[in-house]
Each structure stands twice: as C-alpha cells, then as structure tokens.
A = this chain, B = another copy of it.
C-alpha cells in the first residue's frame, strides 16, 4: 500500500546510502513518533536515513515541512468504496461487522499506523491542518463506514436500534483503547491483541448482560 510511495530502486548504483525523500520520510516518521516533534533532532533523522543533516534540506524546507510531508506521506486514506461494499455485502450484518473489525485491527496496528496515531495524538494540537486532514481522511471515513454497517444491521433487523446504534462509533471504540494501550503501557502490561479483539467483538455484539434478561 505504502509501496507506491517508494519508487523502485534506481537502475544504477547510488552514491552512498540512497537518500531519497522517501527514506528521509521513513526516518523522520520514526523519530517523530519516538521523540515528538520538538524532541526530534534532524541530525538523528539524517543518521537514521544514512545521510547527513544538510541533505535533508535538499528535499524539505524545514523541520516543519519534513514533519508535514512525513505525516501526509503515511496517511493512507481509507477507501471510499467501503460504502459500496456495505451495500452489496451478501452476508449477515454480524459478519460484515466482524469483517470491518478485522480490517480495522489489521490496519490500526501496523507500525506505520501506530506511529501516525501516536504523533497525531501528541502533536495534533500544534499542527491543526494535519490533524484535520487525518480526521477527514481516516477518522471520519472510518466512522461513516461503521455507521453504514450499523445502519444496515438495524434496517435488516439484525441490530438493535438504541443509543449505541445512534452513535455507532462506540462500536469500534475499544480498538482505539487497544492502540493507545499498545503505544503506552505495552512494556509494563502487554495486551494480547487477539484476545482483545475477540473480547471486543463479543462485547460489541452481545453486550455484557446475560441473554434473555432485559437490561436495567
């Protein structure tokens, strides 16, 4: 997916370490995710990219510019066609929801996506344009997708109408917690993603209440 961003290796051997923008962006993303914007030293980015500090400026006007470019490069927009998928999906809404959850988990826990998320949470306030972009291309689309699925389920009588269905993002919410957990507490208290995803699905579909019992 991201591979489109990295042009194929050049035909002839390169100078020293092959330092095209893409590698700088990779290095930058990693450093920004690790140290935050202010805490990142361009020297470290350069070293990680195998080049020298000054070279960064051949491709990016400033640290800010690199930051924005790096985030934008990795911000892989959710495909809009999902809504069509929803419309044409042959199976049950439960299956569809499970599929969506698998996609979401599969995507959210890619290293790049994790890095991006961490950066957005940490630095978003200072880079509203990027936050807005991220929100528009990823968050909002994801929300529309899950809303469409829930709406379908309700329409077909598979899902309950109610407060949860009215704010369907809550259905996907636990995945965010898992992501935040992983980027924060993993070293002290690792999270078993498989189990968590299963618990998530279990909760989201059936709730915690015993079957047949009317919730308070």
Q: Which residues of A line the B interface, CB within 8 A?
A: 34-39, 92, 94-95, 97-98, 118, 120-126, 128, 131-132, 135, 139-140, 150, 153, 157-160, 162-167, 169-171, 173-174, 176-178, 180-181, 183-185, 187-189, 195-196, 198-216
Contact = CB atoms under 8 A, between A and B. Distances in A.
A97 B208 CA distance: 10
Given A95-B216, A139-B189, 11 more contacts: A36-B36, A92-B216, A158-B209, A164-B200, A167-B195, A176-B181, A177-B177, A180-B180, A207-B207, A211-B211, A211-B212
A128 B187 CA distance: 9
Contacts of A167: 195-196, 199
Nearest to A189: B135
Contacts of A185: 124, 131, 135, 139
B195 A203 contact: no
A29 to B, nearest CB: 15
Q: Chain copies in the assembly?
A: 4
Contacts of A34: 125
A168 B124 CA distance: 30
Nearest to A36: B36
10 contacts: A34-B125, A98-B216, A118-B122, A132-B188, A158-B213, A167-B195, A169-B177, A173-B176, A174-B174, A207-B209
